[in-house]
Chain A
Amino acid sequence: MGGMNYDVYSQIKLQTMEVYGNTLCELAAKHPDIVALSADLAKSTKIGLVQEKFPERFFNVGIAEQNMFGIAAGMAKAGLTPFVSTFAIFTSMRGLDQVHTDICYQNLNVKMIATHAGLSFGAAGSTHHCTEDISIMRTMANCKVIAPADGYETANAVVAAYETPGPVYIRINRGFDRLVYEKADYGFEFGKAVSMAEGTDITIIACGSCVYQAVEAASVLRADGIKARVLNMHTIKPIDKDAVLKALEETRRIVTVEDHNIMGGLGSAVAEVIAESGRACAFTRLGIPDCFSMIGLHEDIMAFYKIDTNGIAENVRMLLGREIEEDEDWTDEV
């Protein structure tokens, strides 16, 4: 599988997007149906690595995202597997009509690998931040949505995207991500949450860059005797309902954390599962509180919005103090 050859050393030296670009090159070497497209962001998104190796299979359409998604749809119609990369904000908004009608409506095999997601383009501001894409993309019928936690997971997700028929949206960050995993074969499975820490007091469900922060928060809390379970919910659509329901059953308190608006993203997806279960649960969503974000270094802004280690730990403590009905018949509440 592509992306499996990167050791910790190279991961530390590589931006997540570079891992993506390299993984895609490996996949393209094996699969002649893969083509790559970008809209003047070949270098920025690292999809340009494909251009270096397979120039005849790379298409730069200039700064014209709508046209790019349409061309990708046409190529997929003809039997190719296009990987399309621009920033998350341009994928999920600038070219959304084309993503919706040309790609998702026709259930075409187009892989949208969107970079600079969340607040990761820190200083660029809200014209380039993207805290709406999970919400938007998960309402596109046929489209699958993945937010990998680090480079290893990105490599796995990119391979999974190729192997999964139909449209797939992957959001990855600009720059370097802190490593969550030590190797690629930790058991990634499309649509299945990865358990990062066991615990019975509360569950922290995170995705993307918040997974590292959640794992750190759990370890801080453990020192205080709080046993927090951490789930890496890399696939947001289809969401791993079983993992959410198990966490609900076994911990009865859930915090979601995402580098995204608290509306419509991971937190909402988890809330839907909880609400439909009919069971009471202490629940809170951490993310961007429905505002256009401040600018700054990515981790500084994450701290401001309390989606960093300290912010998560603080919210976990608050949620542990919230009263919920926990009678003996709780399992019969449905």
Chain B
Amino acid sequence: MPLTENELLELEKKAFELRCLCVDTVAWAGSGHIGGALSAMDIFVLLYYKYLRINPKDPGWEDRDRFILSKGHAGVGHAPVLADRGYFDKELLKTYNHTGSDFGMHLNSQKVPGVDASTGSLGHGISIAVGTALAARVLKKSYLTYCLLGDGECDEGQVWEAAMAASHYNTTNLILFVDRNHYMIDGPTENVMKLEPFADKWRAFGFIVKEVNGHSLRELSEAADYALEEKTAPVVIIADTVKGCGVDFIENQAISHYMGLDDEKIRQAKESLQRYYENRVKGA
């Protein structure tokens, strides 16, 4: 279903608030994978507030849609969303990365309600997602699996093993997103290990590719709607994003992959997010 104007404005507000909560969580944690969490935030928000059929009061509900965060280091963006959706008390985010906390950098599915898979090794979440998608077929269940990949992790051969399997088994009940933020730890993806022609690679593996602005909730939503209807081949939505999106002084920098923020930087980050939000709403 296309986004209504009201829905769009609500989601924009949610994305702003959760970007702020993500920044706060990085501060509570001492440091964190802020760049890739902010680049993925619009995808998180769209899925958790529009698409996923889930019940935070019953995280293990067997008919729920699954969400597998293959780029597991974006947990610092995922956890605030889960807290906001009511899986657990937001206060717990203040323990993020602390000794003995249930909330580590890479979220543990055994400990954090709402997390469908423990990820972090990179390149492996997509296989788990293919597994839950195939299981739905065996179990004759109608739940959907959504999976969010990072672009850097597409260097891993396993991603393409899984892509081959998704195409071979035509898992159209799997909706795949790639957060194409163009950066990995050691620098731009194209300098570290060239991914382009990225969309062509997915096409060659049997996917229908939708390339969208990953910070346009409307474009993301239209692509998701397309993927939900498409049954002839699995769809990958390549979301063109900005690493560190919304915090101007860390945007498009490899350093934002993992960093700490002092009080002054937190203040500046929040101001930047406020400006970013206002500009987005003006354009929405």
Report which of B132, B141, B161 forms a contact with A75, defined as CB distance below 8 A. Answer: B132
Is B22 an interface residue, CB under 8 A from the partner? no
From A95-103, A180-188, A248-256, A272-280, the one touching the partner chain is A95-103
**B127 engages A66 (CB within 8 Å):** yes
Q: How far is the CA of A107 from the CA of B157 in the complex (A)?
A: 25
Q: How far is the CA of A228 from the CA of B109 in the complex (A)?
A: 49
Given A56-B138, A64-B161, also A71-B110 (CB < 8 A): no
Q: How far is the CA of A97 from the CA of B123 in the complex (A)?
A: 11
Q: How far is the CA of A191 from the CA of B121 in the complex (A)?
A: 32
Is B284 an interface residue, CB under 8 A from the partner? no
Is A334 an interface residue, CB under 8 A from the partner? no
Q: Is the contact region of chain A dominated by helix, strand, or loop, or is it mixed?
A: helix
**A80 engages B127 (CB within 8 Å):** no
Report which of B62, B120, B135, B139 forms a contact with A74, defined as CB distance below 8 A. Answer: B135
A234 to chain B, nearest CB (A): 29
Q: Mark A19-38, 1 if CB is under 8 A from B, else 0.
A: 00000000000000001000
Contacts of A71 in B (CB 8 A): 127-128, 130-131, 134, 162, 165
Q: How far is the CA of A76 from the CA of B133 in the complex (A)?
A: 11
Is B164 an interface residue, CB under 8 A from the partner? yes
- 54-103 of chain A: CB within 8 A of chain B: 56-57, 59, 61-62, 64, 66-80, 97-98, 101-102
Contacts of A75 in B (CB 8 A): 131-132, 134-135, 138
Q: From B106, which residue of chain A is reached at the shortest CB distance?
A: A101
Contacts of B127 in A (CB 8 A): 66-71, 73-74, 98, 102
Report which of A35, A70, A80 forms a contact with B124, defined as CB distance below 8 A. Answer: A70
Contacts of A79 in B (CB 8 A): 62, 135, 139
Contacts of B139 in A (CB 8 A): 78-80
A185 to chain B, nearest CB (A): 32
A-B contact count (CB 8 A): 115
Q: From B109, which residue of chain A is reached at the shortest CB distance?
A: A106
Is A304 an interface residue, CB under 8 A from the partner? no
Q: Is the contact region of chain B dominated by helix, strand, or loop, or is it mixed?
A: helix
Interface size on A, residues (CB 8 A): 29
Contacts of B128 in A (CB 8 A): 70-71, 73-74, 77, 102
Q: From A98, which residue of chain B is reached at the shortest CB distance?
A: B124
Is A292 an interface residue, CB under 8 A from the partner? no
Q: From A63, which residue of chain B is reached at the shortest CB distance?
A: B161
A69 to chain B, nearest CB (A): 8
> Taking each of B119, B127, B136, which has the highest tally of chain A beta carbons within 10 Å of its own beta carbon?
B127
Is B129 an interface residue, CB under 8 A from the partner? yes
Q: Mark B55-77, 1 if CB is under 8 A from A, else 0.
A: 00000001000101000000000
Q: How far is the CA of A80 from the CA of B139 in the complex (A)?
A: 8
Is B117 an interface residue, CB under 8 A from the partner? yes
**A67 engages B165 (CB within 8 Å):** yes
Chain B interface residues toward A at CB < 8 A: 62, 66, 68, 108-110, 116-121, 124-136, 138-139, 141, 145, 157-158, 161-162, 164-165, 168-169
* Beyond known contacts A75-B132, A77-B117, A78-B139: 6 more, CB 8 A cutoff: A67-B130, A68-B127, A74-B134, A77-B128, A78-B132, A101-B124
